[in-house]
Amino acid sequence: MSEPWTVKHRPRTTKEIAGNKLAIDKLSQWLESWSKGRPSKAAALLHGPPGVGKTVVSEAVARERGWDLVEINASDKRSGEVLSRIAGMASTQSTLGGKGRLILLDEVDGINLREDQGAITALLSVVRESRFPIVLTANDPWDKKIRPLREACLLIELKRLSVRDGLPLLNRVLVKEGVRADEEALRLLLDKNNGDIRSTLNDLQILSGSRKMVGTGEVDWLSWRDRTEPIFRVLGLVFNSETVAAARRATSLSDVDHEMLFQWIFENAPYQIPNLHELNEAVEALAQADLFYARIRRTQDWHLLSYALDLMTAGVAMAKKTPTGGFVPMKFPQRISSMSRTRGTRELRRAVGTAIGYKCHLSSRRAAQLYLPVIQFVREHDQEKYGKIADWLGSREELEQLLVPEKGS
């Protein structure tokens, strides 16, 4: 089997890393500050969704400085005592020849406190006593269990790769591999993976195979694969968040549209909220959200969307106070499976979003979120301008199918 492209084309320096330049500069400045003495924050917490390059950035900054890198996966070491011993030795013992050292504690939000409640305390002790800079990584920095660590660290956010930064990177990889691809296909691939460069490279390698040309047809084929896993992470955020801000993040992380996410939350609420009084409160919030969605469909008043989103995420999260006993799997919404036109609507929305995104240099999902309400408003109030917009996008037929309200709605 050929070497994975994520390994083969792994950046070795920060200049080779696509995107996140501000975050890399912030990390570099913090590392440079150690030359003047131990800074007030002896650790930095790199946070962001999977696949944005948290580990790669840490490896690159250490390599550029000629430092030793000591990498420890915090979620793999279940004992706080083991973590303290390994990380403590690395953070206090001198290096040969006086070389610098960077300690990388990966996936600190994956620590299982049920198995070892002393792990966070052990890591805090290491941070306080370390003679070398420590970088921690986490997908969710707002996880309640790592709050003490978060407060002791300099927070540095890494964001998903934009199309502007992603296209040059993918083209460089393709040139090295002797493969060609349509720009539209690469845009679709980046959009489908929501800026996760690791997943994008894996998909691109799969699509290339024995081919030397990747087009939109291959990317469209790939989109039919089962990609329901991300929705389970989003639902976990809704049903387990302890703050309004954390629950609200679910809408920005979701790969499905807002009304479909509503159906997922509605279907799973009875299973994820065991207390009947709390479930009643959660369903009341969902009922109010549904009323807002109905009004939006009827009046096209998109200012109401924020109320619907807050009710169905933060409203549900704040209603749940009793933890779910053990693991309860998420269920696929029955209503979605019975809606024969759902897939067609999603495909239409994606096609229109892609057309808008190509013109406005945005991802198709973001383009649809931002501009479809505006286009709908123009359609309702100025048919001439709407016609010009539709022709400019080259998507008049798709827009008509997507925006014309159903009878009785």
Q: What CATH number corresponds to the domain at position 181?
A: 1.10.8
Would you say the pTM of this structure is higher than 0.75? Answer: no
Listed residues 106, 134, 157: the one ending a domain:
157
**Token pair 């100025």 is at which residue?**
382
Does residue 267 share a domain with residue 373? no
Tens of pLDDT, residue by residue over 58-91, are: 889 989 888 888 877 655 544 455 555 666 565 5
Does residue 185 share a domain with residue 290? no
What is the number of structural domains in the chain? 4
Kindly state whether residue 371 falls inside one of the protein's structural domains.
Answer: yes
Provide the 3-class DSSP secondary structure of residue 36. Answer: helix
Strands 68-73 and 101-106 turn out to be: parallel
Torsion of CA 385, 388, 393, 397, to 10 degrees: 90
**Token pair 């969710």 is at which residue?**
140
Kindly state whether residue 233 falls inside one of the protein's structural domains.
Answer: no
For 294, how many CA atoms within 13 A lie in the half-sphere containing its CB? 7
**Token pair 């390698």 is at which residue?**
205
Does residue 363 share a domain with residue 328? no
Kindly state whether residue 67 falls inside one of the protein's structural domains.
Answer: yes
Does residue 37 share a domain with residue 138? yes
Tens of pLDDT, residue by residue over 201-258, are: 877 887 776 557 777 766 765 544 444 446 777 888 899 888 888 888 777 666 566 7
Does residue 149 share a domain with residue 88? yes
Kindly state whether residue 409 falls inside one of the protein's structural domains.
Answer: no
Does residue 167 share a domain with residue 153? no
71, 106 contact by CB (below 8 A): yes
Nearest to 2 by CA among 208, 141, 165, 145: 208
Q: What are phi and psi of 129, to 5 degrees?
A: -100, -10
Q: Which domain holds residue 87?
A: 20-157
Kindly state whether residue 363 falls inside one of the protein's structural domains.
Answer: yes
Listed residues 125, 157, 189: the one ending a domain:
157
Kindly state whether residue 10 falls inside one of the protein's structural domains.
Answer: no
364, 375 contact by CB (below 8 A): no
Does residue 139 share a domain with residue 56? yes
pLDDT in tens, the chain (409 residues): 456 788 888 888 888 888 889 999 999 999 988 888 888 888 899 888 877 888 889 889 989 888 888 877 655 544 455 555 666 565 556 555 567 888 888 777 776 655 556 677 777 887 887 788 888 888 888 877 788 888 888 899 888 888 888 888 888 888 888 888 888 888 888 887 777 788 788 778 877 765 577 777 667 655 444 444 467 778 888 998 888 888 887 776 665 667 778 988 999 999 999 999 999 999 999 999 999 988 988 887 877 888 999 999 999 999 999 887 776 777 767 665 444 444 566 677 878 888 888 888 877 778 888 888 888 888 888 889 888 988 888 888 888 887 765 443 4
Kindly state whether residue 241 falls inside one of the protein's structural domains.
Answer: no
DSSP state letters, 39-77: -S--EEEEE-STTS-HHHHHHHHHHHHT-EEEEEETTT-
Does residue 112 share a domain with residue 184? no
